[in-house]
Every structure is written in structure tokens, then in C-alpha cells.
Structure 1
């Protein structure tokens, strides 16, 4: 077609040239405004330039090539001094930039009240509505409390969105906890994905540990939870014992080590149980196995260690892991992991766990702390039976279609 063939090495340069020509053409008709945002990124390109330096160079090149337009960006003073002004062509960049220092201030209580009242005034005027007071349906005292946190505008907007509820009979609806929407979303997601986590030892462990961490200082099942610690082990013992609950039970020190064990492999099960009965070596007073499956009766050593763990001598415990019990803990752990995306803090999530009793009312949490029963759970899943059921199903299906290709 008579078009130029552009090599891969020249594509980036050609792309910029094309964009520059398009912008220049548009500027013949309308002034162009280009804004560069999120300059706090610390990413570097292949030759070591930071995002701030690349943007400054790009803005300089654009200002040389476009007839009319405004290029707008914002950079923190330290980045301006130590990055942009350190460029080899810094003088040419600085000559084209109208530098203006803006002192950023956090909102205070008066600012929040003024801001929200102004937003509401515009909103109600647009809708042609009359309200009992300028801040309706918000409470001024609560807005002023929010202002004491020195929030950014985005946080005020989010708070207003979450608390915009009409007053009924002079009273506002009970406030929804800021963590509630994210928690509900995770609960819904787990309806279809929870089985994916039932073999994930790391995630199950972190969810349980978060639950115990949230209730530090509380007393459950006669145990006051003092701290949640890692188990100190040598390299050869890593990966078996998950965490230690340090507390006081009826005035005595108690150290409960928890091992989440969902693996089916005999050697790993045996190795975990062996360490779970070594109280003196790993400095604990009670071992707790968390597991949903039976332990293979043919694994003699594993059965021997399990019997010793549950004996009156060691007073260990096997707590049955069920999906309905771990689900709320998995949900709040997912919220905690994604808290930055939801603009939530650790403190808010811990407060939510405490308020809703997600940990304190949880069966797994209470069973781990309660007096050991010394019994093997009757409802533990028998993997051998499950396996035979799958094979039987295949046989029935094969007979129904008239084939001997069973496996």
C-alpha cells in the first residue's frame, strides 16, 4: 500500500511521533490540557529513569512540539529536587515548567462540615428538595469526629456514601460498619470457592491466626489470650507447627500450639503429629490438631503419635475443621489482605471482628481453647470411602452407557 515498514526498535519512537502529530493537529482547533497523575509511583524504566523523570522529559518534548496547550502535573518537593533537577538536561526541562509550590493541608473538623454542607446544598438545590438542616441526613458531631482524624477528601466522600441514610421518625438507621460491605462480598464469593481453600494450609492458618489476634486480651473458654506467636523451630522442623497461643488458664500459663493438617500423604501427616507431641522441645503445654479428614488407620506411626497426643498424659486435642466454621474467618482474612483496595485499615477490620463476634463466637476458635476431649472426631471425612464412592459412580456410569472403559 506504499506505507513505511517500521521496525520493532523504532515502533515506540514512531508511536510518540504519531501521537504528537495528532495532538498538534487538535491544538489547531482547541487548546489541549494534558494532566499527569499518580506521580508518587517509584517504578523505574529499563534505563533507570523514574516515573517523575520520564514524565518531565515527556512534558518538555510535548511543549516543544505542540502549538497550544497546557501540561499539568504535581511532584513532591523531594522528588523535584533529587530527581527532576538531577536530569542531564534539567535546565531545558525547568525552563519550560512554571514551578509553583502548594502547601497541602489535611482537613479539620470545620473543613469537613463546610465541605459536606456545600455538597449537600448543591445536591438538594438540583433536586428541588428542602431539608430540616444543612447537613441532613448526617449528624454534625459525627462529621466533626471524622474531621479529628485529619482525613483526605476521598475518605470524607467514602464516609458520606456509606452513611447517607434517611432519618425515620427523627432517628437515623443503625450505621453499617465500614468493613461490612467488603465482608459480605467475600462471604458470597466463598459460597462457590471455599473448597479451593480447604487444602490450602497457608491460607487456613492465616485465617485462624487472624481470628486469635483479633481477640487478644479477651477471655474465652477460661483462657485469657495474651499473645499469638510463631513456633521457634530449626530448619528441619519448619512447615509443620503453625502458631502458638500464649495465655492464662485459671491462673496458670498455657501455651497451645496449633497445626493445620489437611494433607493426605502419610509421611507429612506422621511428621506433623510427631512434632505435635514434642511439648518440651518446642515449648508448649498443649498440642492442637486442626483437620477435617480421618488419619489412615494403616499408618501405624501416625496412629501411635495421635493416640499419644490425645492421651490424658499430654492432653492434646483434635478439632474438626468444617467449611461453615472456617468460612467467616476466611472472609475477614480476605478483607484484611485486600484492605488497601477497599480503603480500610487493620484497626477497622479488627474492630469489625470484635463487634460481630466473628472470632469469639466461632466454633473453631472456642474448641481450640476449650478443655480437650481426648476424642477422635466422629464426623472426620473418610477419604477411602469417598474414593470408593467415586469408583462406584464410574462403574455405574460405564454400565449405563455400555462400555468397559472405566478409568
Structure 2
């Protein structure tokens, strides 16, 4: 008799042939923390996540200010689930609104001598992510401060305040009143120690129009003079990297104090290990980061209403033993790192790290069954006859006896998913690309680095190829050959105009080649940030041809990221696309960049698919040769700016010019902010 409670084996086998869920285990770590994440076996390392959640509650309820800041360390072998633990914590605290969440991925920190400034940017960027109230975490904080200033005692939902802000501001301005100044002054009465500019910038995050500029300013980056005047903020102009670094710790303290008045803050440091990279004074990345944790612990002050701050640092066990633990034992290395570092790294556990545990036979079976259920069977409404099919429980239990890590287990599953079905190399490649296409990349069109890496990969596969023909927009390619792709953007002429201008990562790479017997060097800059300040800074470098050795500049940016005609960024865009410069704006479209991202993902994780990088490059080349975005970047620019990409309307005006608006607003103007 047929068991109607399970799916036909033919349907299950077809699904297995079509998709390998274990290949998706190789996605990038930031996305696994902030995105959908991997299937999470809650019982695995529950001791570690539960301890962190307990400490969050402790700092929140403690009446002693010295107990309002706590630290913990989690150690584990590579692949033991450290980042998965952080992802679990993010989903928990954002899901129930119990804490503000910050993920500090150390792999993003390229210059160890400027770590404080880089962490400030991490802090600001994470607060710009959506929190528990369907608005950004910045907006949650700003709305909480606005509610605290409301004389009626009314508490309005953050989403409502965000929806009302621009309209209420414009209405007050028509009455020659400045609502934001009034709001700032009322909050400063409650928080007299707050930096008024930082407070003002946080309130600006409530504005749909000005939030991107406020976030850029909070990160320590420069605003153009007109925008800064409109927002009543200093421009941050003219500061050297060293000056930004010197100011960063104070700004971090100010921000964290204001944010933690609203909710506890959980900061998770991850990816501390980078071999061969040292700071100028000889510290490893792990040592520099733990010194930052110590500095934060020593300098973060909590007010009487503060909800507390918890800093979690995860690292390899070998990193703890070899680079950090000696700070506790008092050896020579401790003197090098700085006294007291070890004691301040894990105050919640008396200086002892929490160790992650490997899998055992039962947890390995449970993990594999969970992955198959969440990633294969449930999305296809299939009910297998065996929860671990196509594996066997006995085989999985045997593997579990060796106490493998999570990553080792998932790698084994990916490689042994269809052990008895011969698959050609080309078919493996097709399935790998299909799996990458189906992976949830989150808001990847906002990720400059991911887009730039995919473009660079595409151009690298075209080295030595001769391209010709016409692009989708009618631009020409005339016997064009790419000779090299250079990611090291050096100053080649220090005496050129734009003196003292360094790249700072704005130009992602240069494409070097020859077309019609003429050499070219195209600088490519992916700039998806919405604010004019970041765009202007990038365009300033992209138009500095002589300084960076370019013959042409290409801005890669979505067409819907409009540029206001009143900004300096627009003037620089006009300069870039002028006949003299011959540069262009290549429009970024999802259907053109996503295939390159998928191919690059397969290339990066080729071993997971039992392929080599050479094989992936070979199979990828036909698609890359025809990619419209790559061809658009290489083709002769049109020299035109599409009118659809430009905003003509003025911004709110110079809102903080004393002649244009009073520095007060009546209660009616503020009440408009809280109308449900």
C-alpha cells in the first residue's frame, strides 16, 4: 500500500538532481548575519548564545553604571559556527526588539592604523540597517528621542514619525519656524551632555531626503558646503586620515551613549584573523581589534537611564592562545599589547572565553535533517520518507563520531549529495550557477564591493580577447583588446591637479587595453550610495585623470539613484562626461550585474562544486563576452547625461540660515510630527 503521507520518490529524486542546498553554505559572512542566514540548529552551541542574551539582560537592569558595559569572548575552530552564532543573536535581538545590533566584520578593515575610524563607519552603517520596528535602527533611536521630548507624553510609532517628518518640517518652514532646531533644543535639555551636532545628525535620519547625508556625516565623511549648511552641520572637510582617526573614538562614545539610552547595544566582532597584515607598530589585526575593545570598555560611560552595552568578540582558539591569552598571563606579549587587555575582553566570564563545541553523532544528524528540510523539502512542499535522504543516518552518525565542525560537515554533504550519479563538468557548472542564482543575496545592489568584485572578475576573464561591435545603447567597440586589470590604484603624478588627493577606495580598479591602436586606461568606480557627498568624493577622484593615470573614467551607478542639479556631485558628473574628459555613467541594472555576481560566486567557491577556477573561468567566458554592462563600460561614451537621472528641484533650502527660519517652532509644528 502506498504511503500517502510522503512524496513520490521520483519527485524527491528530481528535486535532489535539480538543487544542492549545501552549496549555498559558501555565501559571504555579512549576508549570512544580516540576511536570511543559514538554517540554525538552536541546540548547537546554545550555551554560548544563551550566555550572551543573559548578559544583555544584566546590563539593561543593572543599577550600577560600572556594570553597564560587559564583554565576552567566544572561541572555536575554523568552521565551528562562530558567524552562525552571531547570526542567531542578530535574529533574536532584532526579532524581539531587545537590543540594537552591530556586526563588525574584521575582514573589512584594510588599514589597521585607522581602525577607530573604520569601526565608526561600521557602527554607522549597521545602525542604518532595518531594526525591529520596520525602520532603520538610526530611525528607532531618533524616534525614541523625539518621543521623549513630546510634552504631551504621547508615544508615537517610529514608522509614523518617519512618515510625517519631511511633511511636518516643510510645513513648519512655511511658517518661518525650524522644527528640527526646536526638537534638538528640547532633547538637549534632557541630554545636556550630548554633542549637539551628533544629536542633530541623528534626528536628520528621520528625513527621507536627508537621511543618507546624515549617515555619511555621522561616519565622519565630508559633506559639500551647501548640504552641510542646509542641515546645520560642519562639512567635515579638509581632515586628514589621522585627524579622522583621532576624532573617531570620541564620536563612537557619543553615538553609543545616545543609542544605548534607547536600548541595550550588542556589538559583535568577527573575522579577526588575517595573516601577514600588521599595523605600523607591529600589531596583528586580532591584537588591534582587542585593543579597540579595551579602549571602548574603558571609555564608554553610561548614564543613569542607559540600557547597557555588550561587546562580543569571536576568534579562533589558536588566535586566543597565540596572540591574546598572554595578556592575561603577563608575558612579554602582554606588555606589547597593553596591560589589562585580557581582563577587559571577557568581563562577563571572569576573563575566560566560551568555547564552541564540535558536532557529535546526534547533532550532526539533526543539522543535516534541518538543512534538507529548510532548504530543499519545505520550499518544494515535499515530504521525504527519510529526513536525511539522500544520505543515510548510519553514515552520518559514523561521521559524527569524528567530531567534525559545521563547515566540514556541510562541505562533506555538498560533495556527497549525489555520490552515485555521474555528472559532467559542464553540468556541475550549470548546477552551480543555478544554485547561486537561487541564493538570497539581500540588497546586493547597495553593496559597492560585491558589484566591483564581480565587474573586475568579468574584465579579468576578457584579458587577451578582442571585442568589437555595438552595445545596447548604440556605442561602438572597435577592435578592442584588454591587456590587464589593475586593482592597485596608485598616484602616478603627485604634482597633478587635485593635489594631496588619495584614492581611498573610490576607484575600484583600472582596465588597461588597446582600441584602434590607441592605448586606454579606464578607471571604474562603483558608487551606489545615495548621498551627494560620497558621490562627489568619488567623482572628484574619477575625474583626476592625470593624478591616477587614467584616459577615461566610468561611474557605475543605478539609474534610479538620481543626482540633484544643485549639488557639487552634479558639476563633477558634467565634468566627467564632458568632451574634454570623455567619461561616462554606465547604468547599473540587476539583470546585467547579477549574472556576473553569480559567476564570480561559483569561481570563488569552485571546490564546493568539484570544479577548478580554470574550469569555471572557461565555462563562464561565453556569458561574460556578451555581458552588456562590461561592453558598455568599454565602449565609446556618448557624452550625454540622461535627464531622467537628474533631480531639478531644490532641497529644503538652507534650513539653518538664521535669516530663513526661526530657531524655534511652536508646539503645533512639533505635534505634526506625532500625528498617527
Taking structure 2 as the reference length, the TM-score comes to 0.31
Against the structure 1 CA distance between its residues 184 and 406, is the aligned structure 2 distance closer, same or farther, given a 3 Å change threshold? farther
- Given candidates 433, 439, 456, the residue that maps to 1:189 is 439
How does 1:70-219 map onto structure 2 within 5 Å?
161-163=421-423, 176-190=426-440, 193=441, 196-219=443-466
For the pair 1:246 / 2:496, whether they are aligned, the reply is no
Runs of 4 or more above 4 Å deviation: 42-48, 154-160, 378-384, 403-407
Q: Determine if contact 1:318/1:377 at 8 Å carries over to the other structure.
A: no
Q: Determine if contact 2:604/2:613 at 8 Å carries over to the other structure.
A: no
For the pair 1:361 / 2:626, whether they are aligned, the reply is yes
SS at match of 1:318: strand
For the pair 1:325 / 2:592, whether they are aligned, the reply is yes
Q: Determine if contact 1:319/1:377 at 8 Å carries over to the other structure.
A: no
Distance 2:563 2:583 in 1: 16
Distance 2:435 2:564 in 1: 37
Cα offsets for 1:302-353 (capped at 9, x unmatched): 1111111101111101100011111101111221232232232111111111
Against the structure 1 CA distance between its residues 294 and 47, is the aligned structure 2 distance closer, same or farther, given a 3 Å change threshold? closer
For the pair 1:276 / 2:523, whether they are aligned, the reply is no
Q: Determine if contact 2:566/2:648 at 8 Å carries over to the other structure.
A: no
Per-residue deviation, 1:275: 0.8
Distance 1:310 1:244 in 2: 18
Per-residue deviation, 1:232: 2.5
- Given candidates 351, 360, 374, the residue that maps to 2:618 is 351
Against the structure 1 CA distance between its residues 47 and 278, is the aligned structure 2 distance closer, same or farther, given a 3 Å change threshold? closer
Q: Determine if contact 1:198/1:204 at 8 Å carries over to the other structure.
A: yes
Against the structure 1 CA distance between its residues 161 and 289, is the aligned structure 2 distance closer, same or farther, given a 3 Å change threshold? same
For the pair 1:370 / 2:635, whether they are aligned, the reply is yes
SS at match of 1:269: helix
Length, aligned pairs only: 229
Unaligned regions of 5+ residues in structure 2, if any? Answer: 1-315, 323-413, 468-476, 492-500, 650-671
Distance 2:516 2:321 in 1: 64
In our comparison, the structure showing a higher alpha carbon Rg is 1
- Given candidates 224, 244, 247, the residue that maps to 2:481 is 224
SS at match of 2:446: coil
Per-residue deviation, 1:189: 2.2
Per-residue deviation, 1:210: 0.6
- Given candidates 516, 521, 540, the residue that maps to 1:255 is 521
Q: Determine if contact 1:310/1:374 at 8 Å carries over to the other structure.
A: yes
Distance 1:201 1:189 in 2: 19
Distance 2:539 2:514 in 1: 25
State the Cα RMSD in Å.
3.4
Against the structure 1 CA distance between its residues 281 and 365, is the aligned structure 2 distance closer, same or farther, given a 3 Å change threshold? same
- Given candidates 273, 277, 298, the residue that maps to 2:566 is 298
Q: Determine if contact 1:320/1:380 at 8 Å carries over to the other structure.
A: no
Distance 2:537 2:319 in 1: 47
- Given candidates 267, 270, 275, the residue that maps to 2:533 is 267
Q: Determine if contact 2:460/2:485 at 8 Å carries over to the other structure.
A: yes
SS at match of 2:421: helix
Q: Determine if contact 1:257/1:286 at 8 Å carries over to the other structure.
A: yes
Cα offsets for 1:41-98 (capped at 9, x unmatched): x9859778xxxxxxxxxxxxxxxxxxxxxxxxxxxxxxxxxxxxxxxxxxxxxxxxxx
Cα offsets for 1:144-168 (capped at 9, x unmatched): xxxxxxxxxx99998973438xxxx
Against the structure 1 CA distance between its residues 47 and 269, is the aligned structure 2 distance closer, same or farther, given a 3 Å change threshold? closer
SS at match of 1:226: strand
Distance 1:159 1:225 in 2: 41
Distance 1:309 1:247 in 2: 20
Distance 2:419 2:463 in 1: 28
Unaligned regions of 5+ residues in structure 1, if any? Answer: 1-41, 49-153, 165-174, 385-402
Against the structure 1 CA distance between its residues 46 and 366, is the aligned structure 2 distance closer, same or farther, given a 3 Å change threshold? closer
Q: Determine if contact 1:294/1:383 at 8 Å carries over to the other structure.
A: no
Partner of 1:289: 555
Q: Determine if contact 2:565/2:647 at 8 Å carries over to the other structure.
A: no
Distance 2:648 2:614 in 1: 41
Q: Which has the higher contact order (CA 8 A, sep 6+)?
A: 2
Distance 1:203 1:318 in 2: 19
Q: Determine if contact 1:198/1:262 at 8 Å carries over to the other structure.
A: yes
